[in-house]
Amino acid sequence: MNKNILQILFAFFLAAQCCFGQVDVVYKDLVWSDEFDSNGALNSTNWFHQTQLPAGGNWYNNELQHYTNLEKNSFVDAGSLNIVAIKENFTDQGVTKGYTSARLNSKFAFKYGRIDIRAKVPVELGTWPALWMLGKNINEDGGYFDAAYGTSNWPACGEIDIMEHGITRSHPINYIQSAMHTPSSYGNTKDIGGIEARSNIDSNYHVYSMNWSPNEISFLLDDEIYYTYNPAVKNASTWPFDKEQYLLLNIAMGGVAGPIASNFTKTSMVIDYVRVYQNTTVDTQAPTNFTATVGAITGTSVELLLNANDNSGTVTYIVDYGSGTTSTSFPSGVQKSIIIQGLSPNTNYSFDVLAKDASGNAYLNNPITIKATTTENTTTECAGTSSEASQNAFSVGYKYAFQTTGTDVKITFELLDKDKVGVVAYLWKQTPFSESQMSNVSGNIFTKTITGQTIGSTINYAVKFAYAGGLSVTKYFSYVVGSNCTLGTQVPLELTQFFYPNPVENKLNLQLLDDTNHIVLTNILGQKLVEDTVKSSHSLDLSPFKSGIYFLKVENSHGIQNFKILKK
């Protein structure tokens, strides 16, 4: 198909209207593309065929194919690139294999920007189609950039997997995956996200996108974000993404994709276009109207509400709080919620917040300093409030509760974000992965009961909240079946007896009402750790116990009283 520049600009305009508000930096200028308008061989100005086998004569991950530069494995027809995997015996470099395919390297590399790839993707068993990126500095013999730039081994070069299909066999067909490979997480990486397409990916075109800024990398399917990578600490281990990367397109066969179907003959990945956007105009104007205030506070988190204006349309906020630094970008003039997590209860914190744009222009009166004090921590494994996310983020957070009845566990989650509409919830089981829809109770409260559990066993679940324009996934919670995290109802004690300090590091000092007092120390699972009879003044040694929440029951002639202890 012929695509003139007006068509490209119109398509970009439509995409910008529906989705670019979701990403942290909007990239507007088309800097490189291939529309695949010339039938026949691939444009050698744009693409390089990577065919050299790695040392040992086999491709990585136990793949079974040869990659070739033959036109039958990669060609342009009717306005689309076809990458074709074929079942055939083929000998190259002294090695015979049973399948051929193509692995293409772009001859264009860039740092920061957006890629859009419109494609149909094969789904046959044992196929592994991929759209992905590698650092231009990778030391990989046979790669296009290796001879001139190959100074870093994998994964120190960084790898960005925009789209993969076929290697997550526990997921259904049409589930596509994105992953980040870095020195901090590679191979069986933990930095991973995915989504099931709304229509078949082999017979329908979908747009697979990656938006890469200095602060985070987001992945989109048909203009909807489903995963964002934004490590709190960015260094060579977690963020080797401050250097140029290039694009790879290929279909691998077998290996981690599993056994290949016995009736397989050939399949194709059909790519309509590849487009790369960046911002090429020099920006010298700094952000204005910067405000920073405190939002919701819990025992372990503080919400910062930030807003500023910038002519570029995007503002980057950098928060420094002594023990850590975090940064994110957000559209100009729109309030951004940043939740600082992992804090200590009952603790004073000072946050220095800076605002700048993608070109590095800083707000005139940086930084704004905000002070906040965390509250007492009442969260347990059974119930609580959190804002931690395993995918994307929450503007406020969510409540959670686990309750055992017999051998059933009722799991309830409530989304606290007020800026989400059309919310539905899905319960995610961690191992083996499964997803099941939860029932709506009212508002944004959802529940699901899992049956036939074993008392004393540990289960691990998260919840995916899907809503108009995206989704957010909670962290995984570990819950011991049968635990209620309380000591039950006791007779209240009105007279004053107390303990100190709280939080405590080692020695907990008790001031009790009787000369003889029966004390019991338990953990949040109700397990008894200490039982003793003590005098009115007593020091309890907590140094053998790990950090966390404990409960102290005191019983004497005045009744029973329960204390909650926080061990540092």
Answer for the pair 156, 140: CB distance below 8 angstroms, yes or no.
no
Q: Which residues are catalytic?
A: 159, 164
The neighbour count for residue 294, using CB atoms within 10 Å, is: 14
Q: Which residue has the tokens 């046979």?
A: 142
Give the three-class secondary structure for 255. helix
Question: CB within 8 A of 412, min separation 6: which ones?
Answer: 399, 400, 401, 403, 441, 445, 446, 447
Interatomic CA distance for residues 230 and 319, integer angstroms: 14
Q: How far apart are CA 289 and CA 301, in angstroms?
A: 26
CA distance 6 to 12: 10
Match 């928060």 to its residue by tokens: 319
* Cα(138)–Cα(157) distance, integer angstroms: 5
| Residues 381 and 485: beta-carbon distance below 8 Å | yes
Determine if the peptide bond prior to 155 is cis (ω within 30°).
yes
| Cα–Cα distance, 133 to 243 (Å, whole number) | 12
**320 to 181, 304, 498: CA distances (angstroms):** 26, 12, 37
Cβ-in-10-Å burial (0-12, 13-18, 19+) of 38 comes to exposed
| 8 A C-beta contact, residue 24 and residue 328 | yes
Upper half-sphere CA count for residue 344 (Cβ side, 13 Å): 13
| CA–CA distance, 379 with 528 (Å, rounded to integer) | 20
Largest CA distance in the chain: 95
Residue 472, token pair as written in the block: 């957010």
